[in-house]
Structure 1
Amino acid sequence: MTGKIIFSDPRTRQQLQDEGEVVTFRVDQRTTGPTWWSESRLGEKEGDVLVEEIDAVSPTRDALEPYRDRSGFETVDDWIDTIERLNDNVPEEGYLYRATAERDDGGA
């Protein structure tokens, strides 16, 4: 079973809500597939997403730059600063995931 995914940073949530897709960095490998998302561990369901693993990476400018435009961050440095804030350091490596919003097309 795929566990829910949390988007605690408002920029990543906004990216997902506005564009229907967000690329996110996670220190630990996680389950993939259909799931739901919230803004906190105990938060209520905000929507359904499909989570796909992109690759294992070091969170460096070179590794993150190709995905920056889908991350919700203005710059790669903003993204790296947020990774550091959420993890109390910049980890040596982690994983990039794509979360795509499941749209309700109203049966059309």
Structure 2
Amino acid sequence: MLEINNQDRGSGKTTKIIEFMEDDELALCLVPYYEIKRSLFPKELQKRVIAARSFKNVFDELQGRRYTKLYIDELLYSNFFIAELFYNFGRRSDISIIVYGTEIGK
């Protein structure tokens, strides 16, 4: 499953992801920059937050991990990148890819 949530800046997208991750130990989060991981996510969740910009980096980080949901925090990734993630991971019926972000220009 692929779900995209386009919301305004400052609407609590990251806070929602943190709450979802606290409730689901099999949820991971993908962010585009390490600084987002370090500054916005609680220390106890940071081991489940992946900071990566390329599909290969994401693929390498996900190797050997057990997860059922992959949250993407921010729409800084290209549509092609999100489609590639969904094609390679989300087509498995047991994995959901859920994007929270703000469309550029909003």
More helix by share: 2
Same fold, TM-score > 0.5, yes or no: no
Pick the structure with greater CA Rg: 1
**Which of the pair has the greater relative contact order for Cα pairs under 8 Å at 6+ separation?**
2
State TM-score, norm by structure 1: 0.34
